[in-house]
Amino acid sequence: MRNSLNFLATNPCCQMSDNKKMNSIKLVFVCLAALLVGCNQSNTEQPADTEKTAIKVIESGATVQTGLPSHYPIGHSVSAEVIAGWDIEIRPDGLGLPEGVGSVEDGEALYEEKCSMCHGSFGEGEEQWPKLAGGQGSLEEARPEKTVGSFWPYASTLWDYINRAMPFPAPQSLEPDEVYAITAYVLSLNEIVDDEFVLTKENFATIEMPNKDGFYVDDRPDTNNQRCMQDCKDPASIKVVLGPEYSLGKKTNDKVEASTETTVASSEQQAKETYESVCKVCHAAGIANAPKLGNKEDWTERLKQGTQAIYNNALNGLNGMPAKGGRSDLSDDAVKSAVDYMLTTLE
Amino acid sequence: MDGFSQKEEQRLLKTLQQESDNLGLVERRKFLKNAMVMVGAGAVVAQTGSVIASSNLPPAVPSWSRKLGDGVLTNPYGLPSDYEKDTIRRTVGWLTPDRISSISMTPLHKLKGIITPNGLAFERYHGGLPDINPDEHRLIIHGLVERPLIFTMDELKRFPSVSEIKFLECPANGGMEWKAPQMEGLQFTHGMLSCCEWTGVRLSTLLDAVGVKPEGKWILAEGADGSGMTRSIPMEKALDDAIIVYAQNGEALRKEQGYPIRLMNPGWEGNTCIKWLRRLEIGDKPWYQREETSKYTDLMPDGRARKFSFVQECNSVITSPSPEVPLKVKGWYEIEGIAWSGKGKIKGVDISLDGGVSWRPAPLKGMIISKCLTRFSYMYNWQGEPLLLQSRAWDETGYVQPTFKQLRAERGGNSIYHRNAIHTWKVHSNGSVQNAQLS
């Protein structure tokens, strides 16, 4: 009985309406009817979908399920210490900030070492990596630049995000004082604090971001289209702007690529794939002093230890180099061929 | 080899090879000789795309009818036919600096019905795809609650479960097209969209378990991935229809979708449906995380931005014909597509063949479920005339999918997210289909 009712409750024919007021008898009836005639749902109003309704059905049926608790006592209580390890978010009013202190000056050194290779020494963003500074006053322009300084409403978001997600290759690796310092530095790049500034838990709430009033709660729907059916516009007024011609499968297209290899890629291609998806993030820009791809100077000393030792370091890790680039699911061979690929770029 | 793409050519050669393998030596020589002549002549593809003179076509008895196939468990986890290798997620390389924080799109042009197969649901990662051992994964619920609790995956599965078919859409779907029709196919204009049956425990059931205090108005949902993805979710949504999901289309949630658990907020921005969910904190105010300030806010022409723009408004697109599915010969076709609304059920879809001068209702078909993909279909006898194909959906709130012009007038061209405009495909007289915008 329970099972069949569960089926009713989860049968898509029976869960389409948000009308929670429909009574349980009707629910059974419509669901049974749907079972008998199949799911022809395009026309009728459908009954409610809440499991509570289904339970009512059970209660009014032959097999009564009684004694369901107001809540299920499943799960274990959790101590403040355990929660603290994961409870890392910061709110605009500073709630959640740990004790700590960091100066713009300290932040500059840390930023140069850990952030500038992607975000640029002045927050201008290398290649396609995000910009962190500039763009103030550009939000109404044709090409707005949304950065920490021009767009972000709260400094807490910056502290929170750097702490949880940056530096990109090593999230949650920074100490609180480092996060204070780097946050202070990124704020100074945006001229929100001066070069002498020292950021602390206590003075955090005093920081005002330039665009703090730049947001309002979603007020959609903002369009009001009508179902015009005939003579909706003058055919002569239509101007057609065409997009690119469809080319996939006709010729190779550098813009559009398959996210998974379809044909069996040559091993060299696969090695390049591994490099691109796993190793590049550090080895292209030389993050944490990773030897850069194709840069002989970075590799000369290393090559002297012999290929086997290099393989071993790539497999087992070495200082800032995580074992297998942090991807323990890669096979040893995949890592080795990625190393081979990196070495061939030196030739 | 004229008339063949490289892929078709490879497939044809493979087929020939397979067929010849089934023949005796003499027969084989003869067959291959004929076949190579045939291929060389380059005129082997009929209008239907099938190979003329294939020994697998009637009246010949196909090779696969004359031998036995592989046994069970050849693939303990089944895979699509080798002939469907083109049915894959794809990405657009220039969108992001790196694949670790990037997106891939669902091949909508290959899908039928309303369910997206698990291996084809679009991916979006901000810190790459984590590999999580479920035995070592926990969900903590704390904050303004009577009883802060920690759950194992087994414990979560002891609660009563629900299964619901809901679409999931990245709010940036179509976002590359605000300024011009940039993308070449349906997979790229609309493919940040999937629709699955999601199974899990209602968030409201878990909130009952911890006992939310009356001041609790917002929930911070946080992922266990390297981006520590977070969003602030209003309590009303949590109590309405949010689900903590552990299964997808009947099997365990896929890694790409948040294994072992994710949040599902039906009808809302995909980004709010935090994957690899590890923590829910109840608070009295939103937290203004990076993903609800710097990103996922909609910049308006006056330089201000909409925040908490959660809902994915009513949208639709024609999936066939489309750039990937051109018309090949004159005759009858099913013009088919999908419609969806984050606010409820699709009420109807109209289609236009003339760029919106006149419209006709396209019947809905199959199941019509709230916040779920809905199919529409219109039979059309195409005689080689050029078309400007459009679909316009409306939902049970009475909201009618806007024209691109109407959206632009309200939002300008820099709001990135929530581009749900009526979409146009230009059908050329040779049957090829091209992405287009009307001004």
Task: List C-alpha distances in Å: B49 to B8, B13, B322.
Answer: 10, 15, 18
Whether residues A245 and B184 touch (CB distance < 8 A) is answered with: yes
Portion 113-142 of B in contact with A at CB < 8 A: 123, 126-127, 131, 140, 142
* The predicted structure's pLDDT at residue B6: 52
Best of A52, A127, A164 to mutate (most B CBs within 10 Å, chain B): A164
Q: Chain A partners of B284 at a C-beta cutoff of 8 Å?
A: none
Q: Higher-confidence residue: A44 or A234?
A: A234
Any domain includes B74 = no
Exposed e or buried b per residue across A109-144, where buried means at least 16 C-beta atoms within 10 angstroms of its C-beta: ebbeebbbbbbbeebebbeebbbbbbbbebbeeeeb
**Is B105 contained in some domain?**
yes
% of chain A residues with pLDDT over 90: 59
Please state the pTM of the whole predicted model: 0.78
Minimal Cβ distance to B98: which of A171, A214, A281: A281
Together in a domain, B58 and B195: no
Q: What domains does chain A contain, in order, with CATH numbers? A: 6-66 (no CATH), 101-206 (1.10.760.10), 267-344 (1.10.760.10)
Residues B249 and B276 in one domain: yes
Domain of B338, CATH number, reads 2.60.40.650
- The alpha-carbon gap from A223 to the nearest alpha carbon of chain B, in Å, equals 6
Q: Do A245 and B434 touch (CB under 8 A)?
A: yes
What is the Cα–Cα distance from A54 to A7, expressed in whole angstroms? 10
Looking at the partner chain, which of A220, A262, A276 has a beta carbon nearest the beta carbon of B86? A262
Phi, psi dihedrals of residue A225, rounded to the nearest 5°: -70, 150
Contact B365 A42 (CB under 8 A): yes
Which residues fall within 8 angstroms of residue A135, CB to CB, at 6 or more apart? A144, A145, A146, A147, A149, A150, A151
The answer to whether residues B100 and B53 belong to one domain is no
**Contacts A–B by Cβ distance under 8 A:** 317
- The string of pLDDT tens digits covering residues B294-338 is 999 999 999 999 999 999 999 999 999 999 999 999 999 999 999
Q: Are residues B56 and B123 in the same domain?
A: no
With beta carbons less than 8 A apart as the criterion, state whether B349 and B393 touch.
Answer: yes
**B418 within some domain:** yes
Q: Are residues B196 and B337 in the same domain?
A: no
Q: Which of B313, B363, B368 faces A41 most closely, judged by CB atoms?
A: B368
Alpha-carbon gap, residue A73 to A75, rounded angstroms: 7
| Tokens 């005339």 sit on residue | B385
Q: Do A216 and B304 touch (CB under 8 A)?
A: yes
- Which amino acid is residue B437, in one-letter code? Q
B418 shares its domain with B377? yes
Residue at B70 is within a domain: no
- pLDDT at position A26 is 44
What is the Cα–Cα distance from B37 to A16, expressed in whole angstroms?
58
Q: What are phi and psi of B433, to 5 degrees?
A: -125, 135
Nearest-Cα distance to chain A for B36, in Å, is 22
Q: Between residues 331 and 360 of chain B, which touch chain A (CB distance below 8 Å)? A: 344-345, 350, 354-360
CA end-to-end distance (rounded Å), chain B: 41
- What are B406-437's pLDDT values in tens digits? 999 999 999 999 999 999 999 999 999 999 99
Q: Which two tokens stand for residue A82?
A: 């355990």
Handedness of CA A312, A317, A322, A327 (dihedral sign): positive
CB contacts, 8 Å: A47 with chain B: none
Instruction: Specify if B88 maps to a domain.
Output: no
DSSP string, A157-226: HHHHHHHHH-STTSTT---HHHHHHHHHHHHHHTTSS-TT-EEETTTGGG---TTTT-EEE---------
Is the pLDDT at B356 greater than 60, yes or no?
A: yes
DSSP state of B173: T
Q: What are phi and psi of B436, to 5 degrees?
A: -150, 160
- H runs (alpha helix) in A23-174: 24-37, 51-60, 80-86, 104-114, 116-119, 155-165
Which residue among B150, B181, B407 sits closest to A223, beta carbon to beta carbon?
Answer: B407
Residue-level pLDDT at A329: 76
Write out pLDDT tens, residues A260-286: 333 334 678 888 888 987 888 889 878
* Residue of chain A with shortest Cα separation from B2: A250
Q: Does residue B167 belong to any structural domain of this protein? A: yes
The answer to whether residue B376 sits within a structural domain is yes
- Higher per-residue confidence, A323 vs B22: A323
- Lowest mean pLDDT, pick from A57-66, B5-14, B286-295: B5-14
What are the pLDDT digits (tens) for A187-199?
999 999 999 999 9
- Does B301 lie in the same domain as B321? no
**CA-closest candidate to residue B195, choices B173, B175, B169, B174:** B169
Same-domain check for residues B169 and B251? yes
Are residues B277 and B148 both part of a single domain?
yes
Percent of chain B scored above 90 by pLDDT?
A: 85
B159–A contact, CB cutoff 8 A: yes
**What pLDDT digit, counting tens, does each position of B230-269 carry?**
999 999 999 999 999 999 999 999 999 999 999 999 999 9
If asked whether residues B123 and B254 sit together in one domain, one would say: yes
Total domains, chain B:
3
Whether residue B293 sits in one domain with residue B262 = yes
Judge residue A255's burial from the number of C-beta atoms within 10 Å of its C-beta, 0-12 exposed, 13-18 middle, 19 or more buried.
Answer: middle
Q: Are residues B217 and B365 in the same domain?
A: no
* More confidently predicted of A54 and B366: B366
The domain containing residue B269 runs over which residues?
93-306
* pLDDT tens profile B124-138: 999 999 999 999 999
List pLDDT tens digits, range B18-48. Answer: 544 444 444 544 444 444 434 333 333 333 4
Does any CB of chain A come closer than 8 Å to the CB of residue B394? yes
Is the pLDDT at B62 greater than 80? The verdict is: yes
Best mutation target, A3, A79, A215, to test chain B (most B CBs within 10 A): A215
> What are A171-181's pLDDT values in tens digits?
999 999 999 99
The whole-number pLDDT of residue B10 equals: 54
Q: Does B344 score more than 70 pLDDT? A: yes
Tell me if B326 sits within 8 A of B431, measured CB to CB: yes
- Report the gap between the CA of B48 and the closest CA in chain A (Å): 18
Whether B242 contacts chain A with CB within 8 A: no
Q: What is the pLDDT of residues A146-164, one digit of tens each?
A: 999 999 999 999 999 999 9
Residues 6+ apart with CB under 8 A from B229: B126, B127, B222, B223, B271, B274, B275, B276, B291
Q: Which residue has the tokens 């005939």?
A: A230
Q: What tens digit of pLDDT does each residue of B150-164 get?
A: 999 999 999 999 999
Angle at B221 between CA B121 and CA B369, to 5 degrees: 45
Asked if residues B371 and B342 have their Cβ atoms less than 8 Å apart, the reply is: yes
Question: Within a domain: residue B285?
Answer: yes
A-chain CB neighbours of B400 within 8 Å are 224-227
Q: Which residue of A has its CA nearest to B131?
A: A329
Q: Is B60 on the interface with A (CB under 8 A)?
A: no
* DSSP letter string, A237-260: G--EEE-PPP-TTTS--SSEEESS
CATH number at residue B228: 3.90.420.10
